Amino acid sequence: MLAIHHYSKEEIMALLEAAIAFSEGRSAKVKEQVFVSNLFFEDSTRTKTSFDVAERKLGLEVVPFDVTHSSVNKGETLYDTVKTLESIGVQLFVIRHKKNKYYEELAGIKSAVVNGGDGTGNHPSQCLLDLMTIYQEFGTFKNLKVGIVGDVQHSRVANSNADALRKMGAKVYFSGPEDWFDEAEFINGNYLSLDALISEVDVLMLLRIQHERHGEKMKMSLDKYHKKYGLTKEREKKMKPNAIIMHPAPINRGVEIHTDLVECKRSRIFKQMENGVYARMAILKDALEKKGIKFIEP
């Protein structure tokens, strides 16, 4: 699982059905001892922790890896790090890295690799949990209107979700600071102002401002951002009665979204986090089965 666009509509649906089954109580345990390791070269709370939980639920042996105390700090390459752990016995890697398409460097690796996020490129497990959350809510993707709002240019979430949602039959629109959209080719002209978008969409997906990826020309005061591009209480009142709010988190409260709306009736933000475990269980099981690893499903 490197990028969601590698998967057909049918394959995505199969993963969704597996994730939903896990959320409804289905269990699966690996038949043999399997070692996995989560290599996170960028900070993470939700993704790394939910992969940890998903791996343990599947009966996998998690080999800890802390980049700050590894030979990466002595100049070891990503390939050599992965090859070393593979030689020791690790059979699956979940990797987050700041470099886009870092996985192209791992062509000689025999173990399974799951992309936990590559630069501004792809975030397939976040995409699957987002699709799961939407599907649970509406039971379909066909003709749903989804608005993705915010720092789109730097968002691997926006990149993965836009592709997958269109493939599944949804209509995807974008909003946010126009100066931040220069390199986001997947928008395909579907840009609307937030105030034009807000009353049209069934799903409002807000994105974190990724300050760590911004240059000086993209600096904007947080208060100004909230007033022009954030979900204020006034804007929330204009949403469709059954429309939902999503955010991949971490959340900049009072910036992308008013703090009172983070856990409002429309919000599915913490439901997304809950679904992250089940979506990642489905991804891990699928990746290992493709390597010939068998599971027991009571």
Mean pLDDT in residue range 191-206: 94
Say whether both 226 and 91 belong to one domain: no
Q: Which tops the pLDDT comparison, 19 or 216? A: 19
The pLDDT value given to residue 216: 55
Residue span of the structural domain in which 169 resides: 124-268
List alpha helices for the chain, DSSP H.
9-23, 46-57, 78-88, 124-138, 156-168, 194-197, 222-229, 233-236, 269-289
Least-confidence region, from 69-73, 123-127, 255-259, 278-282:
69-73
The pLDDT value given to residue 121: 84
**Which residue carries 């070891």 as its tokens?**
76
Mean pLDDT in residue range 176-190: 67
Q: Read off the CATH number of the domain in which 100 is found.
A: 3.40.50.1370
Domain count, the chain: 2
Say whether both 90 and 128 belong to one domain: no
Structure token digits, residue 40: 């996170």
Contact 176, 149 (CB under 8 A): yes
List residues forming the annotated binding site for L-aspartate. 74, 156, 208
**How far apart, in whole angstroms, are the C-alpha atoms of residue 59 and residue 204?**
36
Say whether both 235 and 131 belong to one domain: yes
Contact 173, 200 (CB under 8 A): yes
Render pLDDT for 24-52 as a digit per residue (tens, 0 to 9): 999 999 999 999 999 999 989 999 999 99
List residues forming the annotated binding site. 46-47, 74, 96, 123, 126, 156, 208, 249-250
Say whether both 141 and 264 belong to one domain: yes
List residues forming the annotated binding site for carbamoyl phosphate. 46-47, 96, 123, 126, 249-250
- Model pTM score: 0.92
**How far apart, in whole angstroms, are the C-alpha atoms of residue 178 and residue 192?**
10
- The H helix count followed by the E strand count for the chain is 9, 10
The pLDDT value given to residue 81: 94
